[in-house]
Amino acid sequence: MKLTLKIWRQKNASAKGEMVTYPIDGIDGDMSFLEMMDVLNDELINKGEEPVVFDHDCREGICGSCSMFINGEAHGPDRLVTTCQLHMRKFKDGETITIEPFRAAGFPVVKDLMVDRSSFDRIQHAGGFISINTSGNTVDANATPIEKENADDAFAAATCIGCGACVASCKNSSAMLFVGAKVSQFALLPQGEVEATNRVLNMVKQMDEEGFGNCTNTGACEVECPKGISLENIARMNREYLAASLKG
Amino acid sequence: MALDSKIPQGPLADKWTNHKNEINLVNPANKRLIDVIVVGTGLAGGSAAATLAELGYNVKAFCFQDSPRRAHSIAAQGGINAAKNYQGDGDSTYRLFYDTVKGGDYRSREANVYRLAEVSANIIDQCVAQGVPFARDYGGLLDNRSFGGVLVSRTFYAKGQTGQQLLLGAYSAMNRQIGRGKIKMYNRHEMLDVVKVNGKARGIITRNLVTGEIERHSAHAVVLGTGGYGNVFYLSTNAMGSNVTAAWKAHKRGAYFANPCYTQIHPTCIPVSGDHQSKLTLMSESLRNDGRIWVPAKKEDAIAIREGRKKPTELTEEERDYYLERRYPAFGNLVPRDVASRAAKERCDAGFGVNKTGEAVYLDFASAIERYGKEEAYVKGLNADDKALVTELGAAVVKNKYGNLFQMYEKIVDQNPYKTPMMIYPAVHYTMGGLWVDYNLQTNVEGLYAIGEANFSDHGANRLGASALMQGLADGYFVLPYTIGDYLSHDIRTGPIPTDSPEFEEAEQNVRKQVDALINNNGTKAVDYFHKKLGKIMWNKCGMSRNATDLRSAIDEISALRDEFYKEVRVPGTQNEFNEELAKALRVADFLELGELFAKDALTRNESAGGHFREESVEEGGAQAGEAKRDDENFTFVSAWEYTGVPKDAILHKEQLEFENIELKQRSYK
Ligand SMILES: Cc1cc2nc3c(=O)[nH]c(=O)nc-3n(C[C@H](O)[C@H](O)[C@H](O)COP(=O)(O)OP(=O)(O)OC[C@H]3O[C@@H](n4cnc5c(N)ncnc54)[C@H](O)[C@@H]3O)c2cc1C
Ligand code: SF4
Ligand code: FES
């Protein structure tokens, strides 16, 4: 395949960025999108130019690192995948592909396509945990049976990879799907109940402080989420938040 | 230096308890005066950082990703073992211990493995208390499955994302401590050297990957939880950033590197499709619970399939060779990884491979789908003879168990594994070698600890599945936090370690020199060129099977490649910015040294053991004919290598392994 890539290049957080066009040839459908980027970078290095920076690590859709905005969609045209799981067979010979970083106030650009998502970590520091000692004096794991349905729902919420696609695809740059997923996981488990009130209040407060926008129920996040995290989690968080606010 | 493994006296089952009772403790008020550096925030480092902080130490934690949550442990799929005997199928601490020692081909340390089995049950309790959503059955209790090499169901799991859930558990425990100010987290920081003061590890040198700044960090002790080095093969199941740098730099500062040649080859990975490939994707071993492995029984069918003239689904049962079930009736598809890997390679080498390159076998779910479908139909009172219905019901059960793995496969291969069998082939996965540590997880450098995949300790020549996660968390939550106290109890009056000493200066200059040299090298070839070349040498000559001639030539080729690297590598950009090529170059430089030691270690070990199959050491006759042959008389030891300048000149120290509780037997899964 022969393609034309339009890629956002930006030297660092404070520099001005621009779209740069790169032609590329010899791309095969079995390559992942990131492997296509590797081919480009290899060519750039061989020409003595600087390669395009993008985040990546596991290359199997689980670490949540890779974060490109491709043709106007987080992680590109395929559903339920991250960029590293997107394959070139989804594109046509001769196509022009536009590649940009995730753009949101809460995710400042580090370089080229790489953004700083540490705001997600800070939201977790505010309450994304169960306050339990880690030195092993806990009760037997089967002492508290958990209804399979709740356990499955908690698991489904917990599979969020923290990629930020939900933020990037939201017109308000809201982080509600991400935060909702974490709040839900703990709200659904008996272990997390004790701290539920403080957790949701603190996490939502931190989320607001990080500069993420509000949710207006457009649902773009759910569509673009590579892990299929459902909007129900936002609803659950809102219920939790309301209940917590009433409790004060 | 003599190796002292510091294994406590007394009966096996009491060693850990007695040891804990005897070691020195640090008074809670004094813990505040002590700093600990933890490099790596995977399962091992993350759990250690959280627990040390909770105990009251000041922890500085480092990782090269942008968040601890993205450490490579996140990718582990299948599950974590624990001797809970919830299924009532006869599991016990002793059985887990026994299976692990046997699975490790009797090349691991008895006392360590026993302790691992002992604390395993605690890990599950701990994680559940943290909110890790393990799979449950309809009664609300935890569910289990089986992994290769064992006959009980002791593996706890969260679909195919167990590593993710466990890591998020450790990450959340870290978050709590970061929020409390007890852990200071340094993301996107790469450790590039260890600093020793008066023979003790007292700090590290790091490079801030975003700004390029070289920094000094001091502490009373340094813990490395920096993962494995499978990426020395270039293509492996490891995350792209996984590397050996931290361990290798520690090795260069005096820490012994143990069993570098012990690599685990995983039997169920997606086969290589082309030259562009950047990594290999694992399909969890848990799939072998339900998937049956086969190749065509006749060569002409294999050829027809390779050429696209026939489909696997067209072959009848009789036209298929379920070679694992045929050769190993007791374990069938659940033989250990080394056995399954070798058997797949043997069939493919003999011409029965099923993909274009002839390097793939089938993993087939058709019979599982039918079996589960029938069961569901009965349970629901539906017609169990309705084929379409049974297939639909069965597929739903399979999806519930392995859905994300099937999705992953489909995305990569573009084939639907519910309808046509998966193609799989062995790939480099886990490395069992690592820094040598004693029972306390301390390296032979005082104050320098290694945990998780970065150490060599518990797994021997071939570990069984679902035990790496167990080891990482056991080390981090339950072992290191105790044992390190013994060492730190001598440091309550030391006060903060200054970073302006000559030792820090020397280490920093050492790092600067290396960075400068790489950036200013006027070569013509990209870093990956060297990494790929190294990978080819490693896979062809130090891979699934090895022989002395190849290993000797590997040592020479790697050493020549290293020379070429320093002459010819080109690193674009500058050092004071985010520069991934520079980071890669620093890592590949270390791989180019480790690779040589790896080959040398393999050459010295003239026996087959686990994943390490030595062509010169094969069972000739008898029931085990054609299988790998261990040599207990000459090789019941850990090789611990001392750095002397060039890896091929490293000095071998042997830690003799004593087996007091388990009789050494030829491993047989027949
Ligand atoms: C695809 C896959 C599936 C697996 N499935 C299973 C399974 O089902 N069951 C099982 O038991 N095991 C499994 N394993 C193995 C298991 O996941 C690993 O052995 C284990 O997670 C390693 O944990 P760790 O904490 O030692 O290291 P890692 O998780 O690799 O963490 C290493 C950490 O060190 C940091 N680091 C490394 N070098 C530096 C440096 N120089 N400076 C700063 N930071 C550094 C990294 O940033 C990271 O935080 C699997 C592995 C893979 C790849
Ligand atoms: S909710 Fe989905 S899109 Fe958002 S961070 Fe999590 S996985 Fe990514
Ligand atoms: S690289 Fe890990 S999710 Fe894409």
pLDDT tens string B100-109: 999 899 999 9
CA distance B207 to B227: 18
Is the per-residue pLDDT at A4 higher than 70? yes
Give the pLDDT confidence score for residue B665 in this predicted structure: 81
pLDDT tens string B545-562: 899 999 999 999 999 999
Give the pLDDT confidence score for residue B16 in this predicted structure: 97
Residues of B in contact with A130 (CB under 8 A): 129-131, 172
Task: Give burial (CB, 10 Å; 0-12/13-18/19+) of B90.
Answer: exposed
Query: Which B residues 36-75 touch A at CB under 8 Å?
Result: 47, 50-51, 54-55, 65-70, 72, 74-75
CA nearest to B168 within chain A? A158
Instruction: Please judge whether A130 and B274 are an interchain contact, meaning their C-beta atoms are less than 8 angstroms apart.
Output: no
CA distance B498 to B503: 10
Whether the CB-CB separation of A22 and A4 falls below 8 Å is answered with: yes
- B153, B179, B157, B137: which is closest to B50 by C-alpha? B179
Give the pLDDT confidence score for residue B301 in this predicted structure: 97
The pTM assigned to this predicted structure is 0.96
B168 interfacial to chain A (CB closer than 8 Å): yes
- Give the dihedral of Cα atoms A179, A184, A185, A187; nearest 10 deg: 130
Give the pLDDT confidence score for residue B670 in this predicted structure: 72
Q: What residue has token string 């993909």? A: B355
- Bridge-based pairing of strands B200-208 and B257-258 is unpaired
CA distance B74 to B342: 28
- B450, B109, B64: which is closest to B257 by C-alpha? B450
- β partners of residue A99: A7, A70
Is the per-residue pLDDT at A90 higher than 70? yes
Is B667 a known active-site residue? no
- Averaged over A164-173, what is the pLDDT? 97
B148 lines ligand 1 (CB under 6 A): no
CA distance A171 to B259: 54
CA of A237 to the centre of ligand 2 (A): 15
Give the pLDDT confidence score for residue B146 in this predicted structure: 81
CA nearest to B273 within chain A? A30
CA distance A183 to A170: 20
Give the pLDDT confidence score for residue B610 in this predicted structure: 83
Give the pLDDT confidence score for residue B149 in this predicted structure: 74
pLDDT tens string A125-136: 999 999 999 877
Give the pLDDT confidence score for residue A248 in this predicted structure: 64
Hey, of B41, B70, B213, which one would you mutate to test binding to chain A, going by the most A CBs within 10 A of its CB? B70
Mean pLDDT of residues grouped by 10 in chain B (670 residues)? 90 96 92 97 98 97 98 94 94 95 93 97 96 94 85 91 97 97 98 98 98 98 98 97 98 98 93 88 88 97 96 96 94 89 93 94 96 95 94 94 89 94 95 97 98 94 89 97 96 96 98 98 95 97 94 98 98 96 98 98 94 88 82 96 97 96 81
CA distance B459 to B338: 13
Measured from the Cα of B470, ligand 1's closest atom is 11
Give the pLDDT confidence score for residue A179 in this predicted structure: 98
Instruction: Please judge whether B172 and A59 are an interchain contact, meaning their C-beta atoms are less than 8 angstroms apart.
Output: no
